[in-house]
Amino acid sequence: MAQPADAFSSYDAVGIREDLSDMIYQITPEATPFYSMIGKSKAKNTLHEHQTDALRSSGTNAHIEGDDTVATARSATTRLNNQTQIFKDAVIVPDTDEGLSKAGRAKEMAYQLVKAAAEQKLDIEAALLANNAKVVGSDTVARELAGVPAWLVTNTSFGANEGANPTGDGTDARTDETTTLLEFTQARFDTVMQSCWEAGGKPETVILSAFQQAKALAFTGNNNQRVEGKKGTVDNYISVYVTPWGTVNFVPSRENRSRDVLLIEKDKWSAAILRPTKSVELAKTGDSTRRQIVTELTLVAKNEAASGGVFDCTIT
C-alpha cells in the first residue's frame, strides 16, 4: 500500500496541538518500612538521651523459714544518647510560573514540595538504617545520628577477619568485613534469632534487601515452594517465617545496605522528633518563591539486645 499522490498528511501539517497527558508518572519508590513501623516520640534537645536496663539472670531462690532477709545487689541503668540530624530540601520557583498552565499539576510549587517531602522521607529511612556513628556537630560540621547497625552488639553474625561489632553506644560504626563475605543462610539467620530469644528479645520484622530476600527463598521448607494464590496465579515467595523462637515477617527495604539483614523488635526502637516535617516559606530575595522542607530527628535504641543482625553478607 502507498499514500495517494499529493495527499496532505500529518507530517506536512503545521500547528498540530501537542498531546501531553495530564498525568505525571514516577518510578522512584517511596517505601520506608523501618521509619514507618517504629514508634515516634518527642525530642527536646539536639542530644536526646535515654536509659536501658535488664533483669538479672535467674537462679535458685529458696530460703529458710525465719531467716533474715539480705538485699540483692542491684545494677544501675545504662544512660545512652543520640544526636538529632537535620534533613532539609529547598524548592525555588520563578514567579512567572504562577501564570502558566501546567499539565499534570495545578501549581509547580505544590507539586515540587510533595515530591521533595517524599524524597526526604527516603533520606530519613537511609539514615536510620545506615552503618553510621553519631556526630556531635559544630558550627562547621553537621550533626548526624547513629543508625541501627551502630547499636547492635548482643545478637550478631559477621565476618571473622576484619568484621567486628561496634562499641554499642552509637559512638562508632560496625567494622565491615572486606576479605571474605559470607552468604546469608538459614543457619546464620536461625543462630541470630535464637540469640535474640535467649537475650529476651522477640523480633517480628526482618529488614533486608531484595537480593537477600531471594536468598531467604532457599530456606528449608520454602525451597521451590509454590503456593496457590488467587485464581489463575502461582506465588513463589516467603513473607512469614516461623521459627522455634518466634515468627517474623520479611520486609524488603531499598534503603537498607544489601550486606546487612536486620532482625527488629519494633517496640524497642523509635524516632525521637525534635522538629516534625514542615514546609517553611523562605525570605523573598527576587522574582521567585522559595520554600523548604525540614525535619529534625534521631534514632532511639531502647534496648539493642531485643534485636539482631546478620552482617557481612555476600551481595552478588
Q: Cell 507530517 belongs to which residue?
A: 11
Measured in degrees and rounded to the nearest 5, phi and psi for residue 312 equal 60, 40
Consecutive H or E run containing 301? strand 288-301
pLDDT in tens, 187-222: 999 999 999 999 999 999 999 999 999 999 888 865
Q: What are the backbone angles phi and psi of residue 248, rounded to the nearest 5°?
A: -125, 150
Span 268-292, mean pLDDT? 92
**pLDDT digit string, tens, across residues 219-242:** 886 544 444 445 544 444 567 888
Higher pLDDT, 98 or 149: 149
DSSP 169: S
Contact 248, 307 (CB under 8 A): no
Pull the grid cell for residue 183: 552468604
Q: Nearest to residue 215, comparing CAs of 147, 314, 292?
A: 314
Which residue type occupies 278?
A: K
Q: What residue type is 255 in one-letter code?
A: E
User: Whole-number mean pLDDT of the chain?
Assistant: 86
